[in-house]
Chains A and B, each alone.
Chain A
Amino acid sequence: MEYFIELLFSGLTRGSIYALIALGYTMVYGIIGLINFAHGEIYMIGAFTAYIIASVLSILGFPALSIIVLAGLAAAIWSSAYGYTIEKVAYKPLRHAPRLSPLISAIGMSIFLQNYVLLAQTSDFLAFPELISDFDFMEPIAHIVGTTDMIIIVTTIVVMLLLTLFIKMTRMGKAMRATSQDRTMAKLIGINVDRVISITFIIGSALAAIGGILIASHIGQINFYIGFIAGIKAFTAAVLGGIGSIPGAVLGGFVLGLTESFATGYVSSDYEDVFAFSLLVLILIFKPSGLLGKQEVQKV
C-alpha cells in the first residue's frame, strides 16, 4: 500500500510537470492551430536560465530564498522573451501559409535552439543547484513523498487556478477565448489579434519555465536535450486531454504521469514510454478528440 501511494505521488509530480508544459502547447494550439514544436526548447531555456542565475547568485552569496525567487523570475522573463521572439520570427510570417509550413518552421527552430544552447553553454549534464531545502514537518512522510514533490504539485495547482481565473475573468482572457473561437470574427469586433497571440506565447512560455525550474530542481540535472523529450510527452498529454482545452491539458498531464509512474513501478522502467504512447493510442481510438476535447461537428 505504501508503495502504491509512493507511486501515486511520483505520478502526480510527473503529471504536474507535463501539465505545466502541456498548457503552453494547448493554448497556442487553441489560438493559432499550430503544434509549437519549439515549446519544449523554451522549457529547456527556462531551466538553463534558472541554473545560470541561481549559480551566479549563490556564488555572490545571496540568501537561499531570494535565489529561488530571483532565479524563478529570471527564468520566466527570459523564457517569455524567447517565446515572444520565436513567434515573431518563425510563425508570424507564416500565418497565411499552408498548414504544414509553420510546423516545419517550428521543427527548424527547435533544432536551432538546441544547438544554440549546446554551443553557448555546454553539452554536458549540469548539476542543478538544490534550491529548495527539505521542510522539517515533512520528515515523517519523507520516504513516501518528498518536499520537492509536494512543492511541484502545489505550485502546479496554484498556477492552474490562476490561469483559469485569468482566462475566465479578465478582458484579455475573454479576448483569448474569442480569438480561439474565430480569429476573423475577433478581428472584426476590434480585438488586437496579434497582441493576443503574443500574450498567449508569453504566458505559455512562462508556464514552461516554471515547469523547467521545478523539474530541474527535482531531478537535479539538466542538459540541452531535456526539452525534446519533455516536449513530446507534454504534447502527448495535451492531445490526450483534447488539444485546445485547458482543463484537458491538466487532466492529460496527470493521466500520463500516473500511467508512467505505475508502469515503471509495477512492470518495468524500460517500457514506461511504450505504455504512455499505447495509452494515448487506446484513448484516441475510443475518443478521437481526446478526453475533454470538443467533438468536432463537420459541416459540408
Chain B
Amino acid sequence: MTPLDKKSNTNNTNNKNFFQETKRSLTVALWFMFLTFPIMVIKVDPLEKTIEMRWENMIMIGLGVFFLSMLGRILMERGETRRKKRALERAQKFSLIQTIQREPKYLYPLAATVLIFALVFPWIFSTYQTNVMTTALMYVVLGLGLNIVVGLAGLLDLGFVAFYAVGAYSYALLNTHFDLGFWIVLPIGAILAAFFGIILGFPVLRLRGDYLAIVTLGFGEIIRLILENWNEFSQGPSGISNIDRPGFFGLDLSLQQSIIYLFYLMILFVLIAIFFVNRLQNSRLGRAWVALREDEIACQAMGIDKTKTKLTAFALGATWAGMIGVIFAAKTTFINPASFTFLESAIILAIVVIGGMGSILGVIVGAFILILLPEYLRALSEYRMLAFGAIMVMVMVFRPQGIISNIRRHTQYAPSSDIDPDPDLAPQIERSEKS
C-alpha cells in the first residue's frame, strides 16, 4: 500500500464516520421530536374548544437536539483521545486542585487572598450582592454540617432541613414570645437541633442505606407538616414575622449595616465551621465515622461503639443546621414552613454530592455553584429552574465523583487506581498500538 492510498483510506473512513455520526444525531433529534410532541406542540383549551399546534417548537427541538448531539459527539471523541493520553501521564501526578490542597505553600496564600477578597466584598459590591453572598455562605455551613452525616459517616439523610427548621423556629418563637435575643438563642437553637438529631438517630440506628433515606425524608416532612398545621404553636402557613435582627452590642443598626454585619458574621461562622470540620475529620471520632462508612461490621470488630458514633454524627450535623436556622430567621425576619420543604434538603444534599463527598473545599465550591447559579441565571427568567435541573444532571454525568473529589481516597488507592481508572481502557490502548 502506498502512502497515498493510506491517506485516502483514512479520509474515507473519516467521511464514513462523519456520515454515521450525522445519521445517529439525526435519529436522536427525531426521537426527541417525537418525545416532546404532545407536551411541547399541542396546547388545548377544552373550555374554548381550541387546539393550538405549535409546530415551531418541534422544529426548534429537532434542530437544537441535532446540533447538541453533534457537538457532544465531537467533544466526546476529542475528550476520549486526550483522556487516553492523559491517563498514562497522570499516573503519578495529582491534579492542580489536589496539589493546592496538599501543599501548605500554595494553600495558605490562596486562602488568605480569598479571605481578603471576602472581607472587602461588601464595600465593592451592592447590598443586594452582599445579601446573596450571605445566603451562599449559610449554605456552605449547612453543606459542611450535612457533610458530617453523609460524607463522613455515610448515612444518607434526606430530611436535613428539619434541623434547620428547628433552629429557625426556636429563634422565632423564643424571640416573639419571650423576647430573647439572637446571641442567647443561638446556642439554644443549636442544642435543640442536636437533641432532635438524637431523637431521629435513635430509631433509625438499625436501618441502612435507602431505608434510612426514606425515614429521614419522612421525619423532615413530619416536622414541616406539624409546623404547617399546628396553628396555635407556629401560626401555621402564615408564618412568624417581625423577628429581631441580630444585635450588635446593643447598638441600633440600619438595614444596610445589619446586612453587612450579618455578612461578616457568616464569614466568621464559615471559618469556624471549616476549622471544626477539618479538625473533626482527622480526630478519633472522624476516623471512626469513615470506618463506619466503609464497613460497619469490621468497624464494630475494631471496638468502635456503633450507636454512639452514629448518634454523634447526627447530633453534630444537626447542630450546624440549627445554628444556621437561627441565623436564617434573624436574617429574613420572617419565616414560614414553605422555606423548609424537601427541595431544600435535596439542594443541600446536592451541594455535598456535586462538590465532592467528604471534601471541605468541594462543599464550599458546591454551595457557591448551587446557590449563586440560580441568582445569576435570573437573566433567563422563567427558564431558570429548567437550566438549574439540567445543570445538576450534567455535572453529575460529566463528573460523577463531584467537582473536587476527596483527597484522602486518592492517596489511599494511588497509584494503581489512577493508572487504570477505566477497565475498558487497557485493551483499547493495546489495540491502538497494534494498528
Contact = CB atoms under 8 A, between A and B. Distances in A.
B350 A108 contact: yes
B46 A112 contact: no
Contacts of B295: 300
A89 B65 CA distance: 13
Interface stretch (B186-194, B258-266, B393-401): B393-401
Interface residues of B, number: 67
Contacts of A232: 217, 221, 342
B153 to A, nearest CB: 13
B400 A107 contact: no
Interface in A51-99: 52-53, 55-56, 58-59, 74, 78, 81-82, 85, 89-90, 93-94, 97-98
Interface stretch (A131-139, A143-151, A273-281): A273-281
Nearest to A53: B38
Interface in B276-308: 295-298, 301
Interface in A98-116: 98, 100-105, 107-116
A52 B389 contact: no
B391 interface: yes
Contact of B388 (A49, A111, A243, A289): A111
B222 A56 contact: no
A63 B159 CA distance: 48
Contact of B297 (A94, A274, A296, A298): A298
Given A49-B38, A55-B46, A280 B214 contact: yes
Contacts of A102: 396
Interface in A5-30: 29
A158 to B, nearest CB: 26
Contacts of A109: 389, 393
B392 interface: yes
Contact of A59 (B46, B343, B392): B46
B38 A108 contact: no
A216 to B, nearest CB: 13
Interface string A143-183: 00000000000000000000000000000000000000000
B132 interface: no
Contacts of A285: 203-204, 206
B346 interface: yes
B210 interface: yes
Interface in B215-246: 215, 217-219, 221-222, 225-226, 229
A56 B40 CA distance: 14
Interface of B is mostly: helix
Count class of interface residues, chain A? 35 or more
A75 to B, nearest CB: 9
B31 to A, nearest CB: 7
A73 to B, nearest CB: 12
Nearest to B391: A108
A101 B46 contact: no
Contacts of A271: 225, 229
B383 A119 contact: yes
Contacts of B39: 45, 48-49, 52, 116-117, 120-121
A111 B392 contact: yes
B44 to A, nearest CB: 4
Interface in B89-135: none
A58 B49 CA distance: 9
A289 to B, nearest CB: 7
A83 to B, nearest CB: 11
Interface string B337-369: 000001100100110011001000000000000
A90 B211 contact: no
B354 A300 contact: no
Given A59-B46, A110-B389, A94 B383 contact: no
B397 A93 contact: yes
B392 A284 contact: no
A298 B396 CA distance: 30
A1 to B, nearest CB: 29
B353 A100 contact: yes
B44 A55 contact: yes
A290 interface: yes
A81 B31 CA distance: 9
Contacts of A262: none
A239 interface: yes
Contact of A52 (B44, B211, B401): B44
Given A52-B38, A101-B396, A271-B229, A281 B382 contact: no
Given A108-B396, A270-B229, A300 B298 contact: yes
B323 interface: no
B207 interface: yes
A280 B225 CA distance: 15
**Interface pairs A-B: 9 shortest CB-CB:** A108-B392, A112-B389, A97-B400, A111-B389, A277-B218, A105-B396, A270-B229, A115-B386, A108-B393
8 contacts: A52-B39, A56-B44, A94-B400, A104-B392, A107-B392, A108-B396, A111-B392, A284-B207
Given A45-B39, A78-B38, A93-B397, 5 more contacts: A59-B44, A59-B46, A94-B396, A104-B350, A108-B388
Interface of B: 31-32, 34-40, 42-47, 49-51, 57, 150, 156, 203-204, 206-208, 210-211, 213-215, 217-219, 221-222, 225-226, 229, 295-298, 301, 342-343, 346, 349-350, 353-354, 357, 382-383, 385-386, 388-393, 396-397, 400-402
Interface of A: 29, 35, 45, 48-49, 52-53, 55-56, 58-59, 74, 78, 81-82, 85, 89-90, 93-94, 97-98, 100-105, 107-117, 119-121, 127, 129, 232, 235-236, 239, 243, 270-271, 273-274, 277-278, 280-281, 284-285, 288-290, 296, 298, 300
